[in-house]
Chains A and B, each alone.
Chain A
Amino acid sequence: MATAFPAQRTMSDRGAPSQLDAGFQASQELQSRFISDNLRRVFLLIYRIVDNVADAQDLTQEALIKALQHQDQLKDPEKAAHWLSRIATNTAIDFLRRNGKVNFCEIDGLIEPLREPSATPEEQVLHNEHRGYLEEGLAGLTERERTALVLRDVEGLSAEEVAKQLNCSKATVRSHIANARIKFRRYMERKARA
């Protein structure tokens, strides 16, 4: 969605208060609208990558602050949504690199994470129902796989663009995507049998 960016007004631009109040308020309103128009989309994108609500909240705030502070870097306002998505995914990926110490250029095997041995089948079913099945499906992926899948299948980036975003080779990205889809398919088949 293309949304007009609020005009950036700085302290030194301010003249007599009565003349600029209307302009300042208009810019504040545009800013608020930009935030409200994009907040949910950015939050969901980041959340799907980092898989944690609290981290997603912090990173969403960070991404929108960055975008609004650097809006002069956006040359074509029609591409604002795409540009904002790039900032959001970069913010999430940087976070995973720093905090999860994830190296996006390593390739995982197809072994899935172990389930907790104490969960009975009934408990697992109940847990699944509560959690929502996309959550469950994506939770079975590694950070690399999940990030690549979200960028490709949700954001619609080409494999080349995903590789650029993750700073990896296209071959590595294709491995991540393939593994992610295979694991997700296995998960869907288990759900169908349950």
Chain B
Amino acid sequence: MKHPPQDQLALFAGGEAGWFESWSVRRHLVACPICRKRAADFSQDRQTVRNLSVELPPEVEWNRLADEMAGNIRVGLAAGEAIAAFDRPSDDRTSGVAGARTSWLRWNAGWAIAAASAVFAAAFWLNLPNPQAEHLLTALRAIRVDRAGKLVQPAAPAADEVVVEASGSSIQVRENGGSLALLHPRSDGLTISVNMQGSAGARYIDSDTGQVTINRVYYAQQ
């Protein structure tokens, strides 16, 4: 008995086989338990794929990811609306107070456009290990700002004589072969500040507590 090729059975199981192919396979299956089992397996696999497709990948923390995406979508939409207000033709605008308000809106929408487009030129995007910044950038990109700056590649960090070092993940002070570091792993909106007489700080919003937290390290001046 000649068995139908695998691809025909696979398509038959999903209903994509042509009329003649389906008729031919159906006839064969009546007499062939091996192919009947195979076709049933293909059919079962379709159901398996459907059932499993609603599962999240194991590495995903869904609540956090959803919060972040919803926030970025909100920002992207608001930015898009600001630009839409900027682009609206002049006959939509009324005079007087409303007119003054819309011309103010125009200035600020223009600002938002300039700021959003200048995002591309900011070197810190490359330095920030926090992927949230990149996802926010993508949300802003969705409004198709057409001015882009040039990304600047940072130089390799100097390793010698460093006493205080602040990065996207921690701020630390080194002394006598030891170091004290304050980490900010669950942070949003990191800001680094420097007091040039011996300290540096990393400010962020703790993404779990929502608190503004500033980690600071101080080094002894010589």
- Asked if the two chains touch in their complex, CB atoms less than 8 Å apart, one says yes
Chain A positions 7 through 25: 1 when the CB is less than 8 Å from some CB of chain B, otherwise 0? 0001110000000000000
B69–A39 touching, CB < 8 Å: yes
What are 30 A-B pairs with beta-carbon distances under 8 A? Answer: A10-B84, A11-B84, A11-B102, A12-B88, A12-B92, A12-B102, A32-B70, A36-B70, A39-B69, A44-B53, A48-B53, A53-B57, A57-B69, A61-B69, A61-B73, A61-B138, A64-B69, A65-B77, A65-B80, A130-B58, A131-B58, A135-B58, A177-B11, A177-B14, A178-B6, A181-B42, A181-B45, A182-B10, A185-B10, A188-B48
A sample of 12 more A-B contacts (CB under 8 A), given A62-B141, A181-B42, is A11-B84, A12-B88, A35-B73, A44-B53, A57-B69, A57-B135, A61-B142, A132-B52, A134-B55, A138-B49, A154-B49, A182-B10
Q: Is A66 an interface residue (CB 8 A)?
A: yes
User: How far, in Å, is A68 (CB) from chain B's closest CB?
Assistant: 6
Q: How many A-B residue pairs have CB under 8 A?
A: 136
Q: Is A47 an interface residue (CB 8 A)?
A: yes
Chain B positions 134 through 168: 1 when the CB is less than 8 Å from some CB of chain A, otherwise 0? 11001101110000000000000000000000000
Q: Is A86 an interface residue (CB 8 A)?
A: no
B131–A68 touching, CB < 8 Å: no
Q: Is A43 an interface residue (CB 8 A)?
A: yes
Q: Which of B40-54 contact A (CB under 8 A)?
A: 41-42, 45-46, 48-50, 52-54
Binds B, one of A77-85, A96-104, A115-123, A145-153: A145-153
B88–A61 touching, CB < 8 Å: no
Question: Which residues of B lie under 8 Å from residue A44 when comparing CB positions?
Answer: 53-54, 56
Question: Which residues of A lie under 8 Å from residue B74 when comparing CB positions?
Answer: 31-32, 35
User: How far, in Å, is B18 (CB) from chain A's closest CB?
Assistant: 9
A12–B93 touching, CB < 8 Å: yes
Contacts from B to A (Cβ < 8 Å): 6-8, 10-11, 13-14, 16, 41-42, 45-46, 48-50, 52-60, 62, 65-66, 68-70, 72-74, 76-77, 80-81, 84-85, 88, 92-93, 102, 105, 131, 134-135, 138-139, 141-143
Chain A positions 172 through 194: 1 when the CB is less than 8 Å from some CB of chain B, otherwise 0? 00110111011011001000000
Which residue of B59, B73, B93, B134 contacts A65 across the interface (Cβ within 8 Å)? B73
Which residue of A57, A62, A131, A185 contacts B65 across the interface (Cβ within 8 Å)? A57
B55–A181 touching, CB < 8 Å: no
Q: Is A111 an interface residue (CB 8 A)?
A: no
Question: Which residues of B lie under 8 Å from residue A35 when comparing CB positions?
Answer: 70, 73-74
Chain A contact residues: over half helix, strand or loop, or mixed?
A: helix
Which residue of B16, B77, B138, B143 contacts A174 across the interface (Cβ within 8 Å)? B16
A151 and B41 CA atoms in complex are apart in Å by 20
Q: Name the interface size band of chain A.
A: 35 or more
Chain B contact residues: over half helix, strand or loop, or mixed?
A: helix
User: How far, in Å, is B157 (CB) from chain A's closest CB?
Assistant: 25
Question: Which residues of B lie under 8 Å from residue A153 when comparing CB positions?
Answer: 14, 46, 49-50
A32 and B74 CA atoms in complex are apart in Å by 8
Q: Which of A25-71 contact B (CB under 8 A)?
A: 31-32, 35-36, 39-40, 43-44, 47-48, 53-54, 57-58, 60-62, 64-66, 68-69
B41–A185 touching, CB < 8 Å: yes
Given contacts A11-B105, A174-B16, contact A154 B57 (CB under 8 A): no
Question: Which residues of A lie under 8 Å from residue B142 when comparing CB positions?
Answer: 61-62, 65-66
Question: Which residues of B lie under 8 Å from residue A61 when comparing CB positions?
Answer: 69, 72-73, 76, 135, 138-139, 142
Question: Which residues of B lie under 8 Å from residue A137 when comparing CB positions?
Answer: 49
